[in-house]
Structure 1
Amino acid sequence: MTNVSDATLRGLRRSRQGRSAWLLVVLLALAGACALSVSLGTREVSLSEILAGLSGRTDTMSQAVVAVRVPRTLLAALAGAALGLAGAVMQGVTRNPLADPGILGVNAGASMAVVIGMAWFGMQTLGAFLWTAILGAGVAACFVYAIGSLGRGGATPLKLALAGAATAIAAMSLTRAVVLPRNDIAGGVLSWQIGGVGGATYDAILPCLPFLVAGLVLSLLSARSLNLLALGDDAAAGLGAKVAWARAGAALGAVLLCGAVTAICGPIGFVGLVVPHVCRLLVGVDHRWLLPFSALSGGTLLIVADVIGRIVARPSEMDVGIVTAFIGAPVFIWIVRQRRVRDL
């Protein structure tokens, strides 16, 4: 059995007690991040005002602020969970440590599809944005995998990363070319492309939930298949896995998650790259634990990033996509240095 398989089996045998302890830590961190998100920002609010705002009262400015921040916190948690989970699934499907919705061009494909829909077809409703973003994400994922599979050795991690980076650059360039002549949509599109959770409302979140739930279910159900794929295609097939169907089902879950988040928040990068790597250090490589941990940790990270963006740019705000880029870029460099050429 290969060294990769040996490492995988060691990860699968990691202590259940240790994982349970880390689960408690992550849940407490998520709860603390939610509390900070509701209480901190341009205006700080007290516990009594938070409780009043949560009950629906908006008698004071602080209570009204709380009522606005609650859906924003919910959206950050959902978007972060979706991106963290999608990143873990993509890394499992491709066996590529650099896989991420941004690096593989999936977010850029979803973004380009939405912009084309707005500019050329007058698309305006959130429902249309959702379907278009998911279609764009799916087309980009298939294109990257097809390009990365060409040549000797098939879809190696290096070829997938290069194909994804090239696709992302091409999609972003085409998006800008579409937007530049359209002054009527340019401002909104450029702001949306940075990625953020500001202005969230329950009415905007609700249409995304079916797609997020479907993506969540498909991704979590793929945990056992991803464990088998980590052993290699031949070993997975020998253990009874239908390799092509396993990859397709997991990838569909990731595409649904990425497309839904991109439609409502814009393309937010690096969450899907950073979170799975941190979670592997905590719970190992068993996807039955890694996937839910990545979801919880991704929600926590994006909420914290949103809070940081509100604090450092007072009295204005810094979009969460900028904060995650500052966090993710050093981690990306560290991953590349750790893996070096032998893992690429």
Structure 2
Amino acid sequence: MTSVSESPPRAEVRRRHRGVTLAAGLLVLVAVLAFAVVLSIAVGARAVAPGAVFDALAHFDPANPDHVVVRDLRLPRTLTGLLAGVALGLAGAVIQGVTRNPLADPGILGVNAGAALFVVLGITAFGLTSVTGYVWLGFLGAAVAGTVVYAVGSLGRDGATPVKLALAGAAVTAALASVTSGVLLTDTMTFDQFRFWQVGSLTGRDPAAVGQVLPFLAVGVVLALGSARTLNTLSLGEDLARALGQNVLLTRLLCALAVIVLCGSATAIAGPIGFVGLTVPHVARLITGPDHRWLLPYAAVLAPLLLLVADVVGRVVLRPAELAVGIVTAVIGAPVFVVLVRRRKTVRL
């Protein structure tokens, strides 16, 4: 007869069962994301037969217009949405966890404002007109702005506290946005080129531009996923985290670096896309709870799923014209976020 001490505790059984359930749910979401990738390649403003889509991927013919649309337009667009979505989802979950602020989004560190300013300066000073040229300037601007925000927020005895980071981010963002607006108001040609990047879009993305930020994106993903346990400890409170031996300052620094790299990469290749990094972590938290070991992977899958579906909707809703994905995500994300905010328990960290 089995003794009581040999049977696993009920809490352990529940924990294992929950782990299996979450793992199965994540696999289902990955399958749905794979379907969204296929949908993004197959559906668009131009009708392309399913057979032609397969032939374009397996036996590309540059003389076939349908093949050119699939390989040169839709495939890079889908890859951009996939990578930008992963970056924004992880960045949003990390910044909300490290600041313990449910209303925080990746732009809180000034990355969008910094990227926008450097792109504007690149257009004005160097006459850049291609997305490939925007990538490095956008990434550099995001990195510089994020570094400045973290440096300002670190001043004082307590270091980079969540409140100081939020205030520093708001101040730096306002300052950079003012400079950007000043340049745009005095240069009509720059404004005409910048507005297409500013709205946030996956259209016309060069695979070379995606390849340029891919190494940085990979580093950001590793940093973000590696911060799961430390974010769980930090969520217990700074004092308890220190008592458990965690270096709170180092944790914040690594998390801020992950957000800067991830959001800088996404902004550089797709422009500033709103509501993805803000809303998706809350949806993931409804499924997984506060455990970042599950929250981060779920956010990394849900965000590109949302971005790709929004992009497909933007292609077909006004055929033959298109809506930029940044507009569609705002239309989808805003009502969802309002509902989440009204359910107070779901947004407490």
Asked if these proteins are the same fold (TM beyond 0.5), I'd say yes
Residue 113 of structure 1 is matched in structure 2 by 118
Return the letter of the residue paired with 2:87.
Answer: A
Report the secondary structure of 2:245's partner residue: coil
Decide which of 53, 64, 68 is 2:68's aligned counterpart: 64
User: Number of residue pairs matched?
Assistant: 333
Instruction: Kindly provide the CA deviation profile for residues 291-338 of structure 1, in whole angstroms up to 9, marking residues without a partner as x.
Output: 122111111111111101101121111101111111222233334434
Residue 82 of structure 1 is matched in structure 2 by 87
How large is the Cα RMSD of the aligned pairs? 3.0
- Report whether the alignment pairs 1:248 with 2:248: no
Residue 4 of structure 1 is matched in structure 2 by none
Return the letter of the residue paired with 1:28.
Answer: A
Report matched runs for 1:172-211 at 5 Å.
172-211=177-216
Give, in whole Å, the separation in 1 of the partners of 2:139 and 2:330.
Answer: 23
Residue 23 of structure 2 is matched in structure 1 by 20
Give, in whole Å, the separation in 2 of the partners of 1:134 and 1:40.
Answer: 30
- Pairwise CA distance, 1:343: 5.9
- Report whether the alignment pairs 1:93 with 2:102: no
Report the secondary structure of 1:185's partner residue: helix
- Report whether the alignment pairs 1:41 with 2:44: yes
Give, in whole Å, the separation in 2 of the partners of 1:242 and 1:208.
Answer: 30
Q: Is the 8 A contact 1:80 1:300 kept in 2?
A: yes
Q: Is the 8 A contact 2:131 2:205 kept in 1?
A: no
Q: Is the 8 A contact 1:22 1:282 kept in 2?
A: no
- Report whether the alignment pairs 1:225 with 2:225: no
- Report whether the alignment pairs 1:282 with 2:325: no
Give, in whole Å, the separation in 1 of the partners of 2:329 and 2:45.
Answer: 20
Give, in whole Å, the separation in 2 of the partners of 1:140 and 1:40.
Answer: 37
- Pairwise CA distance, 1:197: 0.6
Give, in whole Å, the separation in 1 of the partners of 2:333 and 2:162.
Answer: 19
In structure 2, do the counterparts of structure 1 residues 95 and 323 end up closer, same or farther at CA, with 3 Å as the change threshold? same
Q: Is the 8 A contact 2:129 2:193 kept in 1?
A: no
Residue 276 of structure 2 is matched in structure 1 by 271
- Pairwise CA distance, 1:45: 2.2
Q: Is the 8 A contact 1:90 1:100 kept in 2?
A: yes
Give, in whole Å, the separation in 2 of the partners of 1:13 and 1:146.
Answer: 42
Give, in whole Å, the separation in 2 of the partners of 1:184 and 1:211.
Answer: 31
Instruction: Kindly provide the CA deviation profile for residues 197-222 of structure 1, in whole angstroms up to 9, marking residues without a partner as x.
Output: 10122222111111111111111111
**Identity of aligned pairs, percent?**
52
Report matched runs for 1:287-326 at 5 Å.
287-326=292-331
Give, in whole Å, the separation in 1 of the partners of 2:286 and 2:273.
Answer: 23
Give, in whole Å, the separation in 2 of the partners of 1:289 and 1:228.
Answer: 14
Identify unmatched segments of 5+ residues in structure 1.
1-10
Give, in whole Å, the separation in 2 of the partners of 1:134 and 1:308.
Answer: 28
Report the secondary structure of 1:98's partner residue: coil
Residue 238 of structure 1 is matched in structure 2 by 243
Return the letter of the residue paired with 1:245.
Answer: L
- Pairwise CA distance, 1:25: 1.9
In structure 2, do the counterparts of structure 1 residues 25 and 190 end up closer, same or farther at CA, with 3 Å as the change threshold? same
Instruction: Kindly provide the CA deviation profile for residues 68-105 of structure 1, in whole angstroms up to 9, marking residues without a partner as x.
Output: 21111011110011111110111111111111123553
In structure 2, do the counterparts of structure 1 residues 159 and 14 end up closer, same or farther at CA, with 3 Å as the change threshold? farther
Report matched runs for 1:160-175 at 5 Å.
164-165=169-170, 167-175=172-180
Q: Is the 8 A contact 1:130 1:259 kept in 2?
A: no
Report the secondary structure of 2:249's partner residue: helix
Give, in whole Å, the separation in 2 of the partners of 1:157 and 1:69.
Answer: 40
Return the letter of the residue paired with 1:65.
Answer: V
Report the secondary structure of 1:15's partner residue: helix
Identify unmatched segments of 5+ residues in structure 2.
1-13
Could you state the TM-score of these two structures normalised by the residue count of structure 1?
Answer: 0.86
In structure 2, do the counterparts of structure 1 residues 161 and 327 end up closer, same or farther at CA, with 3 Å as the change threshold? farther
Residue 78 of structure 2 is matched in structure 1 by 73
In structure 2, do the counterparts of structure 1 residues 336 and 158 end up closer, same or farther at CA, with 3 Å as the change threshold? farther
Residue 29 of structure 1 is matched in structure 2 by 32
Give, in whole Å, the separation in 2 of the partners of 1:12 and 1:186.
Answer: 54
- Pairwise CA distance, 1:110: 2.0
Q: Specify the structure having the higher radius of gyration (Cα).
A: 2
Give, in whole Å, the separation in 1 of the partners of 2:118 and 2:290.
Answer: 34
- Pairwise CA distance, 1:226: 1.0
Return the letter of the residue paired with 1:33.
Answer: A
Residue 5 of structure 1 is matched in structure 2 by none
Q: Is the 8 A contact 1:88 1:290 kept in 2?
A: yes
- Pairwise CA distance, 1:161: 5.3
User: Structure 1 residues 42-51 or 295-304, which shifts more?
Assistant: 42-51
Report the secondary structure of 1:195's partner residue: coil
- Pairwise CA distance, 1:48: 1.3
Q: Is the 8 A contact 1:83 1:257 kept in 2?
A: yes
